[in-house]
Structure 1
Amino acid sequence: MAVGGVRLERVPTGIPGLDEALGGGFLRPSTVMIGGHPGSGKTTLACQFVYKRALEMGERAIYAALTEPVDVLKPHMKSVGIDLDRVGDLVSFLSLPPGTGKERIARRLFEHLFAQIDTFRPKNLVIDSVTALLHLLDPAEVRASLMTLNEMVARRSMIALLLTEMPMLGRAVGMGVEEFLADGLLLLEHVPTQSGLVTRLTVIKLRGSNHKREYFRVAITSEGFEVIGPMM
């Protein structure tokens, strides 16, 4: 499939139930923003995607882990069936080191990220999270860097997943960043039901895809992120 002269490839996620909601998977190249409440499964979804593509297709990925150290992230993911050590050097991790001067470090992170994209040549990329960058840098500076990144995504034919935190009250996502560059927008929200709090997925937009528009119930099990089905 081609859109605007750009050849698009439909890429299955390998995540149970998600491809059906997306209309077959993500498109390559594309930038997809995943916004969600704390603990709604954003990181698990993103890790599972790069893990599955690396394990089954040998695809390289860069994972910018900005909200928790990699040595905390890996055991957490392993507890839900995502053993990132199994894919070895196919997934390269970037992180913010502890200490002062975080603003300067955040700027250098983008420089390092752009350089590593050129040398490592990943097929997939995750920034976890854009919210962490917005706490360190001016939103206009983050937007400019993400727009540069978006150009690289298209040029290198990658899939980029940009994670953002949503407050429990309200639906603000990314301070407007997604309006500038996202080809797709997924929301993960905790919602009350008669039986208790559940997590739902909504595909707000996914350019070039005939995606589903209903709410989907999701869960994180010992085998990772799963889309159970439409909410009744």
Structure 2
Amino acid sequence: MKILVPVKRVIDYNVKPRVKADGSGVDLANVKMSMNPFDEIAVEEAIRLKEAGKAEEIIAVSVGPAKAQETLRTALAMGADRAILVETDEEVEPLAVAKILKAIAAEENPGLVMLGKQSISDDSNQTGQMLAALMERPQGTFANTVEVDGDSVTVKREIDGGLETVKLTMPAIVTTDLRLNEPRYASLPNIMKAKKKPLDTKTPADFGVDIAPRLTTTNVSEPPVRQAGEKVEDVDALVAKLKALGVA
């Protein structure tokens, strides 16, 4: 079985994003970039399935600029076998990404497409679900546990009320949540080996996908500064204040 793992290049989660002075977007100049944390979890889970003998090949895919090769090399250093970069300098919306992934999946015929539930850059949480709809495949989103058994995969997924278990017939789409696993660090020898692993470069046009945006960003701004709290003398004063605010 092949596992297809889409990964996205985003601002490193330790970096505080800065908004451009004109409010047109987030300033990416001289900002540290890394693999989307949820996608890193997906790569780790795919590697664990391969180590358990449930998969033979892991293919990492990214849609983005040429520098996304660095993100793919990270996936290869972790344990992916080969990579595909669909190169574009434009920001690609979730629907277009899903269409590109559908075309790649049609060529590669993976048993599982495993991706992060969302990216920390736009928090859309749409690509996995859109891909499942386009491919007409079963989906297990927000995966907390993934178990492959023969031609089916059992996904324990996180929902508001707790955990829900679904059993999917493969090929299927799985999106990963934070508590699924702890991604490994790539060792130096594996980082060196990753440089020799195959990485193919494509374009959206190769798959016949129109990536023209359907949405327009009108303005981006910093969140409002949190106001300072207020100290009260005692419980009675606290209750009175809450009543005045309409909270109690």
Per the TM superposition, whether the score is higher than 0.5 is no
TM normalised by structure 1 equals 0.36
The two structures have a TM-score, normalised by structure 2, of 0.35
Q: Which has the higher helix share?
A: 1
Pair member with larger Rg: 2
